[in-house]
Amino acid sequence: MPDLSTNCAGIKSPNPFWLASAPPANSGEQIMRAFDAGWGGAVWKTLGQPIQNVSSRFGAVDYRGSKAIGFNNIELITDRPLEVNFKEIYEVKKRYPDHAVVVSLMVETRQEWQDIIKRSIDAGADGLELNFGCPHGMCERGMGSAVGQEPTVNERITSWAVEYSTVPVLVKLTPNVGDIVPHGLAAKAGGAHGVSLINTIKSIIGVDLDTFVPRPVVGGLSTNGGYCGAAVKPIALHMVGALAREPSFGLPISGIGGVSDWRDAVEFLLLGSSSVQVCTAVMLYGYRIVEDLIEGLNGYMRDKGFARLDQLIGRAVPQFSEWGDLNLNYETVAKINADKCIGCQLCVTACHDGAHQCIHPKADTRVPVVDESECVGCNLCQIVCPVTGCIEMVPVDNGFSPASWNQHVGEGATLRPKKGVH
């Protein structure tokens, strides 16, 4: 069997799958049940000055019969006494010495950081995660994303934590910024041992069309919350990859955002994560989803010939490039498999109304025909086709040498003729 054990910024766990800091990691009893189910680690729900949460606090986006593809919350940090949390951290670590117990923290002053860090480490924390990402409630008080959006503040508070900590410090970054790289570099400048990302995205999940109140509703009012769930995975993958490929960064990454199955987790690992945190999928389906994560990762590593996790971490990073480095002379065209086509004509409509008008119905057959002289290889037809493998994008040998915008166009390289220009 492949070795799934990992070391993320000095925090070791038997596999890379951690509970993210959220309701599934709110108590010792929950985390012990999660470890029994197979989770390798957990990031404790954020500790700070306990607050009073609101009711209700969750909302979701359903789409075409799929429940909660996107999830929203306006919940804040722990509402349980710190003494209770620290007692439970101690009990969990004593019972599960080989599992990773990371404690998420969020306070205001330097003295508060010093105090809560000491208490967390005394309780047995293997690592700390500084919550610089919460986009609601706490940021209005000068914490959460109010810190994560300001590199100088990020660096300063990170340096406090690193000064006071004897265990690894991860900085949890907010996605509510234009470019994640300066914020990752600020964490590095502050001495962080690694980062975790992404936290939730500032959002309004929807509006009740009868009462005119945004959701979730709290006594006739609402507010923006944090968006997460399967729908945010593309944003999370981009930000993880952007830091992983930054030459001046070089810190370990704990990837978070929209992980629902083992394939999602592997994508985060390939883009540079050495641990993968999960929240929303656990809230919707329970701790046992870790069985799929472990089984799927094991099978994938066997199929690819990977004996250890570090052999696959970051393998996709070299292929994550800038648009200007892409080969402008690379060309594909759509090919329709007549044996698989069901004649739904979705590709015809999509191509005519949303693409380049190169797929046409044919009177004597259910199978549309592709005018390859006009096909630009956009692959919209493949996306809308309901039959797996029916439409394939096939590379064309057009005789033109590779040419990119950054390296060749300015030097007078020959570009293949544009299609669809009349």
What DSSP assignment string belongs to 90-118?
Answer: HHHHHH-TTSEEEEEE--SSHHHHHHHHH
For residue range 62-117, list pLDDT tens digits in order.
888 889 889 898 887 899 999 999 999 999 999 999 999 999 999 989 999 999 99
Could you read off the pLDDT of 36-54 as tens digits, one per residue? 999 999 999 999 988 777 7
What pLDDT is recorded for position 136? Answer: 56
Give the model's confidence band at 23: pLDDT under 50 very low, under 70 low, under 90 confident, else very high. very high
Q: Residue 152 CA to chain centroid, in angstroms? A: 25
**Residue 142: its pLDDT value, please?**
58
Query: Which of the residue ranges 281-285, 374-378, 417-421 would you say has the lowest mean pLDDT?
Result: 417-421
Q: Distance between CA atoms of 130 and 111, rounded to whole angstroms?
A: 15
Pairing of strands 41-47, 127-131: unpaired
pLDDT tens digits, one per residue of 334-363 = 999 999 999 999 999 999 999 999 999 998
Q: Considering all CA atoms of the chain, what is the largest pairwise distance in Å, rounded to the nearest integer? A: 79
Q: How far is CA 223 from CA 58, 133, 213, 215, in A?
A: 11, 17, 10, 8
Catalytic residue numbers, as ranges = 134
| Selected residue with higher pLDDT from 165 and 405 | 165
**Segment (H or E) for 46:** strand 41-47
Q: Could you tell me whether strands 253-256 and 273-278 are parallel, antiparallel, or unpaired per DSSP bridges? A: parallel
Residue 141 or residue 372, greater confidence: 372
Identify the CA nearest to 18 among candidates 233, 265, 337.
Answer: 265
Mean pLDDT of 275-284: 96
Residue pair 260/230 in contact by the 8 Å Cβ criterion = yes
Predicted pLDDT at 137: 46
Q: What is the pTM of this model?
A: 0.94
Please give the pLDDT value at position 138. Answer: 53
Domains of the chain are 6-319 (3.20.20.70), 326-411 (3.30.70.20)
Contacts of 82 (CB under 8 A, 6+ apart): 47, 50, 116, 119
What distance in Å separates the CA atoms of residue 179 and residue 191, rounded to the nearest whole number? 20
pLDDT of residue 264: 98
Q: Which residue has the higher pLDDT, 388 or 58?
A: 388
pLDDT band at residue 412 under the 50/70/90 scheme = confident
* pLDDT confidence bin for 224, thresholds 50/70/90: confident
**In contact, 226 and 135? CB cutoff 8 Å:** yes
pLDDT digit string (tens) for 110-142?
999 999 999 999 999 999 999 986 765 455 555
Residue 169: predicted pLDDT: 98
Mean pLDDT to the nearest integer, 237-264: 98
Q: What is the mean pLDDT of the chain?
A: 93
Distance between CA atoms of 359 and 57, rounded to whole angstroms? 47
Q: Is 324 exposed, middle or buried (0-12, 13-18, 19+ CB in 10 A)?
A: exposed
Taking residues 219-233, what's their average pLDDT? 91
Distance in angstroms (rounded) separating the CA atoms of residues 83 and 105: 14
Of 124-138, 166-180, 291-305, 368-382, where does mean pLDDT reach its minimum? Answer: 124-138
Closest to 16 (Cα-Cα) out of 268, 316, 303: 268
Q: What is the DSSP letter of 234?
A: H
Q: Please give the pLDDT value at position 12.
A: 98
Can you state the angle between helices 28-37 and 289-304, rounded to 10 degrees? Answer: 40
Q: Are 144 and 76 in contact (CB under 8 A)?
A: no
